[in-house]
Amino acid sequence: MKRMLAVGFGGMAGSLLRAWIYAAVPGTVSLWVINIIGSFLIGFAVMKLSGKSAELRLFISTGLLGSFTTFSAFSNDWFRALESSAAAGIVYGLAMTVAAVAAAAAGLWLGRKGVKE
């Protein structure tokens, strides 16, 4: 039950944070900001939280950052881009995916610094 509550409360906080960024950052830039920052933080959290409690890891990674980042909004934007132009849709989808994976890799790399192996 503690783990479910950790995910739930983290999810509430993450979705509220995402809504705040949508309100503060105009247009589709907000989705890029959210997904790139969120991907970076997920990578970072994987390294920094490895020895912590399952509840804390679930609160931050699955709850907070999982609800902060948004694959559904990305998919919606991607399909709209595909409808206007197949090339634009492909470029958009690849660019967002590469940027998010690169951000997660950077988070992992930075998170590894100072972690004793």
Q: Binding site residues, as ranges?
A: 66, 69
Asked if 77 and 9 count as a contact pair (C-beta separation under 8 A), the reply is no
Binding site for Na(+): residue ranges? 66, 69
CA dist 85 → 38, 80, 81, 91 (Å): 28, 9, 6, 10
3-state secondary structure of 49: coil
For the chain, the distance separating the N- and C-terminal CA atoms, rounded to the nearest angstrom, is 32
Contacts of 73 (CB under 8 A, 6+ apart): 31
